[in-house]
Amino acid sequence: LTFAAVFEMDDKAKVHKEWFGRTVIHSDHRFTYEQAQEVIESGEGKFAAEIKILNELHHVLRKERFKKGAVNFESTEVKFKLDEKGKPLAVIPKVRKDAHKLIEEFMLLANIVVARFISEKNFPSLYRIHEEPFVDSLKALELMAHNWGLKVRLTSGFIQKNIMKMLGSVKGQPHEAILSILTLRSMKQAQYNEENKGHFGLAFEHYTHFTS
């Protein structure tokens, strides 16, 4: 038993119709991320045509999100390989592929459209907000970047795009991970609030959390 957000979309990922309500989900098939990724890469398997469409839409949504100024904090997650007694044998980096990003983009889409709907209807609700970072925090981050020889200006103009330009300039370099962590720490913490104040990091005017 679920609450669902149901959308009709075109090939440009534009939502033309939306419906929210109580639903019952009966799964015809369940995929792990790895199984879905295999279908994406091979183009074959159960629901290959449907997964292909969803994957194409996710790329459009993701591209549009970063075009609007979303900050991409990519970090490496790890998983542990254990023996039968639970003793760690190895640490394996998790690789985020299209299957993971596909789910992420559609969860974000559902949260955006629902937040916009409740805002337009003036329904009482909680929003997930993320306010702009303090100027002092950005100046400290600028100074750290300058110490690495990066000529960046974060405190003027389009802040999100300035941050993405800075992070992009160190892609693949030894200090990429530490600069990404320092950038993340310079941000204000996201929080829940009954007043919609937008989400700085995701560059959304409306955002909430209801997906699982």
Q: Considering the chain, what percentage of its residues have pLDDT values greater than 70?
A: 98
Nearest alpha carbon to residue 111 among 177, 192, 173, 170? 192
| The pLDDT of residue 212 is above 80 | no
pLDDT at 75: 66
141-200 tens-digit pLDDT: 999 898 888 888 888 778 888 898 898 888 888 888 889 889 999 999 999 999 999 999
Question: What does pLDDT average to over the chain?
Answer: 91
User: In Å, how far are 48, 76, 204, 206, 212 from 127, measured between CA atoms?
Assistant: 35, 28, 11, 8, 16
Handedness of CA 137, 138, 143, 147 (dihedral sign): positive
pLDDT at 114: 95
Proportion of the chain in helix, strand, coil states, percent, rounded to 5? 40, 15, 40
100-157 tens-digit pLDDT: 999 999 999 999 999 999 999 999 999 999 999 999 999 999 998 988 888 888 887 7
Q: How far apart are CA 162 and CA 141, in angstroms?
A: 12
Q: With contact defined as beta carbons under 8 Å apart, do 79 and 92 qualify?
A: yes
- CB within 8 A of 55, min separation 6: which ones? 40, 98, 102
